[in-house]
Structure formats: C-alpha cells, structure tokens
A and B are shown apart, each in its own frame.
Chain A
Amino acid sequence: MSLLIDQLTVRRGNCSVLAEVSLTALTGQVTALVGPNGAGKSTLLKAVLGLLPSQGRISFAGQDLAVLSAQARARLIAYVPQRSQLVAALPVRAVVAAARYAHHGWLGMPRPIDRAVVEEALSQVDALHLAGRTFSTLSAGEQQRVLVARALATDAPCVLMDEPTAALDVGHALGLLDLTRRLAATGRCVVVVLHQLDEARRTANRIAMLHRGRILADGPPDQVLVEAHLATAFHVAPVPGGALGFRALEQS
C-alpha cells in the first residue's frame, strides 16, 4: 500500500501552485515534504485531501481518491492541520471523537468501540489526562497532540501532517517527531510537511524537496539535503563541520 501522486497540477487563477508533481509515499515510512515558503507543500496535502480542485491522479492502495466520497476518503487519509480552526469550547474527548464521523456518518451514534478507539488514541499521544478539558484552553503543544490523537482515531492507514511542530517547543517537537516514526512503524504511511531541515533529516525515511511548485529532489535524506539542492531551494549552505547547521548564501 502506498500513496501515489501522479502528474498533480493545482492552479490558482492563471498561476500553477503545483506543476506536474509526481511522488510516491510508502507505508511503514515517514515521507517529509520540505521546501521554502510558497513551494506548494501545504497545497499538495490539501490536494490529496480533495480540498482543492486539481488535475492528475492521486491514489492510495490502488484506490483513486477522486472518485471516493468525503467519508470514504477520510477513512483512508487522516489529516493533522498546523493549527485547528476550532472556535468553540468543545471538550477534548469530543474533538477526538469527531474522527469517528467517517465511520458512521451524519446520523450515526457513537458506539462502545468508538469510545474505546478515542481513549486509545488519546493514550498513544499521552493526552488521556486532557480528555475532560476544553480544547481551546490547552497550550499549543497539547492541542497539537490532541489533533494527532484525532488523526489516529480515524484508523486511517495514511496520515498527512502539515507542519505539526511549528507551534511546539523543542521538547514537544522531538516527542511529536518520535510519534510520527512510531506511527510509520505500525504500518501507516506518514507524510509530514516540515520547515526545519534538521527535523526532516532526523525523522524521515525519505524527503521530497519542493521548489516553485515542482519536485526538486526526492529520495533518502542524505541524497536530498545536499549543497546543490539547498542552494537552489533555500539559498543556504551547510555550515562546514556542523551536521545540522546552515548559513545563508550571498544573494547574487
């Protein structure tokens, strides 16, 4: 089972945000999407989720996502946004239980198994103690863990995460990246957008570097995070002798 993206093009007006992007993300692996601001990373995730009109073919486990209903797609693909837009004071348990919507639809009632799945998902992200709290009162790090729990509670075999560490301190960020590896180890296909290249290097089995809406490089971290690609996409160069540091290049 893998997520296959073939010749994906997304346009906004006359501008191509993504141009003929092809990518394969395997199950059991963490695939990181990196690239400068505006490269099209989040757009790619939203196109996979069917939230944007696009051209090309996107399939998971051989199923064409374009022909699936929103409910069927949500059972295959889970999504962790950078920040939730939730404005109301919903309890954490209700936020995570929303993930079960894909399994019984608009009319369904939560069953005992749904409650068990929600508890298990909260437990996996070490957020069971937050279950009775109101989502909006949580810190950014706690909210992010709850959103990951919501994605886990969908039971989807593919998880997309959009900059999940953006609002987190270094400790929580490391914990979350460790969780993405553990998710992949359970047989899920994990695709994660990351801004920090050192995080991508440490976490991902494979990195796809986007630049101006196209794939600049795709492969194992040590083949992608090389001087030529970094200079093209980010205008930076690795600091000599430093494994994870970078310095800005002179703009020509």
Chain B
Amino acid sequence: MRLAFVLLILAAILAVSVAVSLATGSGGWGAERILLDLRLMRTACAGLAGAALAVAGVMVQGLFRNPLASPDVIGTTAGATLGGQLALVAHAALVGVLPLWLAPELVLPLGCLIGAAAALSVLLAAAGRGGGGGGGIVAVLLTGFVITAMVGALSGLLTSLAAGRWELARALTGFGMGGVDGKGIGHIALAVPLVLAGIGAAWAWGRTCDLLLAGEEEAAALGVDTGRARRWLLAWTALLAAAAVAVGGALSFVGLIVPHALRPFTGVEHRRLVPAAALGGAALLILCDVVARAVPLGATWFGIPGPGELPLGVVTGLIGGPVFLMLLIRARREGTL
C-alpha cells in the first residue's frame, strides 16, 4: 500500500479522534470555553504521549530485533516513572530552596529521562542485543520483567515514604497510574520539542535500524558503526519514553500495539513505519482517553468518593494486555519463543 495513502488515512483518524475528544464531556461542543481549553490540553498531552510511545516502540523493536519489545514491556516506562517520581519528591523536599519559577513539571522530564536511560542501560547490559533466536527474546522479556518489578517496588517504597505528605503521595500515585488530566500548557511546551526531536531522530536512524534487523555482524559489515548506533538509539528511545511519561505518566502497551498494527500496511522499513506510528499512536491514546472519560464510574464506591474517571493507564493496560498475550501465543506457535 502506498505510504502517502496510509498516512492520509491515519491523519483522518487522528483528526476524528481529536474532534471526539473535544466533544466528550458535559455540554459536548457547546461547553464553556474553559472546559474546551482543558479538553484541548489533555487531548494534546494524550496525542504527544501516544506518538512518543509508539515511535519509541518502533525503535526498541528494531534495536533488539524483537517484535515483543516496547518501552513498557522492557522496563523503560517503569524506569522513567520512577525517575519522574524521584524528581517530584526532590522538588517537594527542596521547595524552599529552589527558585519559585522552577515548577514540578519543569523538573519532571529530566527525572523521567534519567530513569528511562538507566533502565535501558541495565537491560542492554543484562540481556544483550542479539534477540534473533528464542533465547534472545526470552532474555529481553525476563530482564524487562525484573526491571519493572524492581522499579515498581522502589516506586511503592517512595510512595509509602511520602504518605505523611498527602498531596505528594496522591501526586505520586496518580503519576504511577498514568493519565493526562490536569496537565497544562507548561507540560505541552516542554514535551512538544522533545517528542518532535525524538520522532525526527527515529526517522533519521531508520535506515540504520533496517540494517540492524540483520544482526550486528551483518550491519557492521555493511558500514554501520554498531556501538555508536546503539548508543544513539538508546538515547532517543529514552528521550521519547521520558517525554511520554512526563505528560502521560506510566502508560503501557501503546509502543507494542501500534507498530504491530501498522506493519501490514507500511511494511517493516523504519522510515515508512515511524511517521505512521506517530500518527497512529497519537490517535490510539486520544481514543483511550475518550474511553477513560466516557466510562461511567459512579459518584461513590462503597461510600467512598469515586475517582471521577477511569485512569488512562488502566484503559491502555486492559486493551494492551490481551493483545500482548495474543502475540506471545502466536510467537509460541511460530516457534520464535
């Protein structure tokens, strides 16, 4: 299928998603301006996070030669989340020392970036990059599982330590569950250049990723400086995952589902897949956010005030989990796991 046609279709789906997102909520299109502005903010955040996660998924799958890799499955999102939570705690601890203009959303991306880079480095050191055979895939998935579990434990420890400060503990818990509500123009202004730079870099490194699909030996023989390529791909993946977590918290499976869904239409060449993944990821997460807002949860649960809306991370997890299991079963049947 011609790439231009695929991109046109995806752009149309994205436009419809944005329109539905802006119209979802009390008052629909006729709501007050301030409500529409809030919806526009969260729609933009969902779009940015979705695009960033999907493109990061494309890069991670190319780097590890592993179709089951994605930033959340291999622990990168968890690393970014812990980094972000540490940044929030550090900001709260130093609130009297830091300048007033240094808002939490300004330190958040840096914390996310350091956390994502650390998690990716641990994965690469522990599981390597071969990934071609079954052992490689299992090693990557198991290491990702261990990183996610360890980081989750540290994240839980951090949240429990912060329990004395109710607002901070609530912020940490909300960040861990993922969501785009309550985000402002500051989040968007920080995320836009990071996400655009990350998507541009992923497109530029696309040919290198194509060559890496044949393994590092063949790629090196064809002229790829594999060490340099690996370092840059890791850095850009960490940046994209960090930007996504900074605006959307811990969101799972977007980076896994979107590249898989689009490859039948774009093919596996990365320079074709990256722009399609950016559009598709943005549309998917905006629609997930619409679902999160549209599902009625009730005002109270057992007498306790309800959360008001479904956390976005719960929606992506409920959609992505079964898809991941389906891919695992298919990989087993095909003998690649």
Contact = CB atoms under 8 A, between A and B. Distances in A.
Nearest to B65: A87
Contacts of B225: 69-71
B207 A81 contact: no
B210 A98 contact: yes
Interface stretch (A10-18, A21-29, A33-41, A89-97): A89-97
Interface stretch (A46-54, A56-64, A170-178, A208-216): A46-54
B223 A91 contact: no
Interface string B49-66: 000000000000000010
Contacts, number: 83
Contact of B267 (A78, A91, A150): A91
Classify chain A's interface size.
Answer: 20 to 34
Interface string B202-226: 0011011011011101101111111
A106 B229 contact: yes
Given A85-B132, A89-B268, A94 B210 contact: yes
A75 interface: yes
B269 interface: yes
Contact of B214 (A50, A69, A84, A105): A84
Contacts of A94: 210, 269
Interface residues of B, number: 24
B208 A106 contact: yes
Interface string A220-241: 0000000000000000000000
B223 A88 contact: no
Contacts of A88: 65, 213, 268
Contact of A74 (B204, B223, B268): B223
A17 B221 CA distance: 21
A49 B224 CA distance: 12
Contacts of A84: 214, 218
19 contacts: A46-B217, A51-B221, A70-B220, A70-B226, A73-B223, A85-B132, A85-B218, A86-B214, A87-B65, A87-B132, A88-B213, A89-B268, A98-B207, A99-B222, A101-B208, A101-B211, A102-B222, A106-B229, A154-B222
